[in-house]
Structure formats: structure tokens, C-alpha cells
Amino acid sequence: MSFSPPLARYVADAKAPHRELQRALTQLSAFLLKRLTGRTGGTIDYGPVEAARTALSECGRMLQHIGAPAGAAHHRRHLDIAHAALCRAVSIVLARRGFDEDAFFGALERAERDLKALWRIVPGFEPVDFSQACCAQHGLLVRPEAAASPA
Amino acid sequence: MADYSIWVLDYAAVNKFPQAVMLYGPWHHGIRNLPYAYALLKGKSEVILIDTGYDHKEYGKYLADLYGVTNWHGPEEVLAECGVTPADVTRVLITHAHFDHMGGLDLFPNATFYIQKRELDKWVWALTLGPEYRFLVGAADPADIMKATRLAREGRMIVVDGDAEDILPGIDLHLAADTHTYGSMYVTIRNDGARNSQDVWVFAGDNIYTYDNLTGLDKNDPQLVPIGLAVGSQSNLIFCSADMLKATGGEVKRVIPIHEDRLKDTFPSRRTKADLHVVELALAKGEASRVG
């Protein structure tokens, strides 16, 4: 797949905020998972929420500086929707009026759908990095062009 | 007579896998076939899987193109070789959170799943670190956290904190902290139900990849050799291997490395039309052989 220069620049720039969105989704999902599977009456660990909030803040800052050329408008829209959904999830956790689990999980599912859509639009936005997987340890034999040179 | 029938079922493979990843050290010993597989247990009114495989529709082409994972077949087809459907599965024991062991969480609609608390906690922690630390995340798929959360909302995800005896009749879970992964677990099956069983099987997860991890490569001078890919320590892997061997009374072949290509030669087995293997370890009373 070949891109025009503006589109190629967009794809390169969008990877970092995409990574932050993935990280936020994982953290928020983990927060709920721990809450659901932890001991009743135990302390709630808000660490993942803090981590997600930091990732979303960083993502929002980066998105402000990324322009989307015409061919990337659809892709960018999914990024924005995922970002907004995850910000909504954080605000649900931090709301003073009790934790609305259904609304929280609904926001996560919305973000998940849009992040998956990104991958289907443009390669390189896979939701998972398998480069560290057991089966990937021979990846450089399969793809020698990917080998890094020593600095 | 055995309480559980036990089979190991291939569902995919990497045909050219470096031996040095399976066994620390022999850097120039070439490649092996690495089957992807899970274990099926039937008995005591339960249909149990040890690990889930992964869902090819999510990442299959990506994995096949980049890393040579081939011949993937879904659980409908694989389990049918033993007369089971995914909907029949009642319990799934997840040895660790790598995609090829946990990536099929959504494929078994009536199952309850078990995983170690430490595996989830440390995985999430590793994901908070920067991309330069991505080795620590290993082959975990963040999407699986969402799947696990969905299951937890349905009351189908049980988090186990450490060792657990008789999680099901005759089946024990053992935390193997800081080995292949942070919270790996191995599974022992006391297949006669006795506390001091004479019929123990151990499912090692990826704490060993091959029997050679338990014996070394020199038949005349056996030793424990760790796998070549871990976030934990080589010491922990070696002591975990020793514990697993002890559980079987030192009988190497009963410590099952799910990625071992030689299982099909060690136990009765059959090649399916899809060029996968069904390996039969034990048959419970009344169960027909699936390899005869």
C-alpha cells in the first residue's frame, strides 16, 4: 500500500496517539476487571485510571497537532471518537455520584470498536504488537530487512 | 480407571521455529516445528480446556504473514475430533496471558475461566511502561483484557491468587511466579482422585516448551535447561521444572509441554484431515478412543 506524502505523514504522526489510546483502553478495562474480580470490601486500585488519564491527556495533546488530509478524515474520526469515549469513561469513574458500571463499560466498548476500525482502514494500527511473541522470535529471519543496525 | 479422558489437540503450527527459543543455549541447532495446541479433559461431568488458542479472524493473516503461523483451525473443527463443541466446554484454565493461550476467551460461550491474579496485575503494570519496555508485555494482546472484563461482568472469570487445590475434583493449580510470564500457572491432574496420586499429569504451560527442558540434550548426562524466552528468571524456571517433575514422580513424559512436537510420537495419536494431531493421554471409563 502506498500513500501520498501528506497521508504518509499523517499515518506516521497518528501512531503515537493511537498507542496512548490503546494503553488507556487497556488500563481502564483492567481497572474494571480488577474491581469485578477482587475481594469484596478490598481497596479499589485507582492506579490504572490515573495511568489512563495520563495517556489520554498525552493523546489529546498530540491529536491537537495532527492535521488529517482528506484521505485520512475517516481514520481521524475514529481516533477522535475513541479518545472521547475513553475520556468519558474516566469521568464516569471520577464522578462523585457512584460508579455506573454499565455506562463505563459501554464507553470502553465504543472505544474498542473505533480502535479496531483503525486497523481495518490502514495497516500499521494493529491493536497488538506481536513482535515480542514466542512465535515472533524468528521474525528477523523471515524479514531480515527489519533488522536494526547498531547505533 | 482414570477420572478424566485427556487429549492434546493441535490447532496451528509454526513450522520453522528456532530451537534456541525452546531451549536456552543451543544457538546453532537450527529449527523445529512448534505446534500450537490446547488440552481437552472430559470427566466428572465437566468438559475442561487448558488454554483457549486464539481467534484467527482477529490476527490470523497478520501472524501468518509476519511470523509463519500456519494451518490454524477453529475450536469447532478441532474439538469435533473428540466429539465436543465449544458450547460444551464448562471450564477453561488459562496457563498464561499470551495470545496463543488466552486469545480465544470469546469462543466458549458457556465456560467459566480461571487465571492467576498475578498474571493480570503484572501484565497491566507492564503495559503502563513505555514502548521501550515492550519486551515485558510479551505476546499479550490488550484486547484480551476487554474479553476478560466482559467475562467478569458475566461472572465467568475467576481470578486465582496463588496455588489452589481441587479447583475441580482432582485438579490443582500452581502459581509459577516470574517464570515464562509473571503469573504463569501449571496444572496438575490427579487422575485417580487420590491425594497421593499414582496417576499425575502436569500441564506445564510454556514453562517448558519441550521435554528437552527437563532432560537436556545429552541422554547420558541429564539436566534441567530453561526455555529461551522469559520475563522471569532462569532460576525460577529451573525450580518450577523440578517441582513439575517431582509431581509426576520423576516421569518426564507426564509433564506435558503443549508446544512439544514429539507428543504425537510419545502417546497414541492420529493425524486429522486438516493435518493436525490428536494426542490421547488418558481415557476415562466408558470413553471411546479418539485415535484408534
- What is the reported pLDDT for B68? 79
Is B37 among the domain residues? yes
State pLDDT tens for residues B7-37: 999 999 988 888 888 899 877 888 889 999 9
Question: Positive or negative CA dihedral for A71, A74, A78, A81?
Answer: positive
CA dihedral sign, ordered B239, B242, B248, B252: positive
Contact B67 A133 (CB under 8 A): yes
Say if residues B143 and B101 touch (Cβ distance below 8 Å).
no
- Strand pairing category for B200-203 and B255-256: parallel
Which residues in chain B (231-290) have CB-CB distances under 8 A to chain A?
A: none
Mean pLDDT score, A7-35: 90
Report if residue B289 sits inside a domain.
no
* pLDDT higher than threshold 70 for residue B100: yes
Yes or no: say if A56 and A26 are a contact pair by the CB < 8 Å rule.
no
pLDDT band with cut points at 50, 70 and 90 for residue B90? very high
Q: Give residue A44's pLDDT band: very low, low, confident or very high (50, 70, 90).
A: confident
The full set of domains in chain A, from first to last, is: 5-146 (1.20.120)
Supply the pLDDT for residue B1: 80
C-alpha cell of A19? 498507542
B164 in contact with A, Cβ within 8 Å: no
CATH code for the domain in which residue B242 is found = 3.60.15.10
Most confident of A121-125, B1-5, B253-257: B253-257
> In the prediction, which pLDDT does B248 show?
98
Q: B131 in contact with A at a CB cutoff of 8 Å? A: yes
Least confident of A53-57, B97-101, B138-142: B138-142
* 195-234 in chain B: CB under 8 A from chain A: 206, 209, 228-229
CB pairs under 8 A between A and B: 129
pLDDT band at B124; cut points 50, 70, 90: confident
Reply yes or no on whether the pLDDT at A145 is more than 50: yes
Nearest to B189, CA basis, from B89, B90, B50, B94: B50
Range 44-73 of A in CB contact (< 8 A) with B: 48, 51
Torsion angle in degrees (nearest 10) through CA of A46, A52, A55, A57: -80
Chain A residue with CA closest to B127: the answer is: A23
- Which one of B123, B149, B209 would you mutate to disrupt binding with A, by most A Cβ within 10 Å of its Cβ? B149
Chain A residues whose CB is inside 8 A of the B142 CB are 22, 25-26, 29, 127-128
In a domain, B234, yes or no: yes
More confident residue, A123 or A15: A15
pLDDT in tens, A81-104: 999 999 999 999 999 888 999 999
Range of the domain at B76: 5-282
Q: State the DSSP code for B106.
A: G
Task: Give the residue, B240 or B69, on which the prediction is more confident.
Answer: B240
Question: Within an 8 Å CB–CB cutoff, is residue A25 touching chain B?
Answer: yes
Q: Is a pLDDT exceeding 50 seen at residue A107? A: yes
For chain A, the distance separating the N- and C-terminal CA atoms, rounded to the nearest angstrom, is: 29
The percentage of residues in chain B with a pLDDT greater than 90, rounded to a whole number, is 75
Mean pLDDT of chain A: 84
10 Å Cβ neighbour count for B104? 26
- B54 pLDDT more than 50: yes
Residue B173: inside a domain, yes or no?
yes
pTM value is: 0.90
Average pLDDT over residues B136-150: 82
Mean pLDDT of B152-176: 97
Rounded to the nearest 10 degrees, how much is the dihedral formed by the CA atoms of B188, B193, B196, B198?
Answer: -80
Please check whether residue A19 touches B, CB under 8 A.
yes
Residue tagged 481497596 (cell numbers):
A43
Overall domain count for chain B: 1
Write down the mean pLDDT value for chain B.
Answer: 93
Residue B287: inside a domain, yes or no?
A: no
C-beta atoms of A136 and B66 within 8 A: yes
Report which secondary-structure segment, H or E, holds B207.
none
Identify all chain A residues contacting B152, using CB atoms and an 8 Å cutoff: 32-33, 36-37
Q: Which residues of A touch B139 (CB under 8 A)?
A: 130, 132-136
Give the per-residue pLDDT at A98. 86
Which residues in chain A have their CB less than 8 angstroms from residue B67's CB?
Answer: 130, 133, 135-136, 138-139, 142
Q: Please report where in the chains the cell 509476519 appears, as a residue.
A: B66
B66 touches chain A (CB under 8 A): yes
Nearest in space to A51 (alpha carbons), one of A89, A24, A25, A18: A24
Task: Classify residue B290: in a domain, yes or no.
Answer: no
Instruction: Please give the distance of CA B149 from its chain centroid, rounded to a whole number.
Output: 21
d(CA A56, CA A89): 11
Give the CA dihedral B73, B77, B81, B83, nearest 10 degrees: 150
